[in-house]
Amino acid sequence: MGRVVRVPCEVATGICRDCVTNDHCGGPVPVCDATSGQCTTTCAQTQECFGTGGPNICDTGRGVCVDCSASGNLCQYCETETFSCVGCLLDADCPPSSPFCGPSFECTPSCMGDGDCPSGLFCEPGSSRCVECAKNLHCPGEVCQGDFTCG
């Protein structure tokens, strides 16, 4: 039987994260950023984020390293609620072959069944979009959340 990895969940929201408290982190990234749910480190400038094995940009307003910010990015699209690099923010960011920006902020094709979706994604029949999960069965050891992501 496969090993089940336990992912910490925020009790208030029911959303699973990489971390919820500093106890879930360690090494060079010992701080849990409550906004992104990522293990990171504190910083006053971006150079302090390099080589930590975690996010590489300093959000000087909050004093933590993040993947991206509204003012400085190492990625094309930055989702500024969790400061994460993503494949799209809006449907308009996606090519005609994959016209929908899915709940995981990745471009996906329209679908009529699971076979129309890229490997690892499933067709959500209500919206005809490819998503990370459409039911709990798609999330071994986790739960399919309301935004069609496993957590």
Give me the residue spans of the domains in the chain: 22-86, 91-138
Give the number of other CB atoms < 10 A from CB of residue 22: 12
Residue with the two structure tokens 């890229």: 118
- Work out the mean pLDDT of the chain and round it to a whole number: 83
Residue-wise over 87-125: b if at least 16 C-beta within 10 A, else e?
Answer: bbeeeeebeeebebbbbbbbbbbebeeeeebeeebbbbe
Q: How confident is the model at residue 9 (pLDDT cuts 50, 70, 90)?
A: low
Q: Are 134 and 144 in contact, with CB atoms under 8 Å apart?
A: yes
DSSP H or E stretch at residue 8: none
Alpha-carbon span 46 to 67, nearest angstrom = 11
Please give the model's pTM, rounded to 2 decimal places.
0.66
More confident residue, 16 or 115: 115
- Residue 8: the pLDDT is 59
Query: Of the ranges 1-5, 44-48, 106-110, which one carries the lowest mean pLDDT score?
Result: 1-5
Token pair recorded at residue 148: 């069609």
Average of pLDDT values for 49-59? Answer: 87
pLDDT digits (tens, 9 = 90+) for 56-113: 888 888 899 998 887 666 788 988 888 888 899 999 999 998 898 887 788 888 889 9
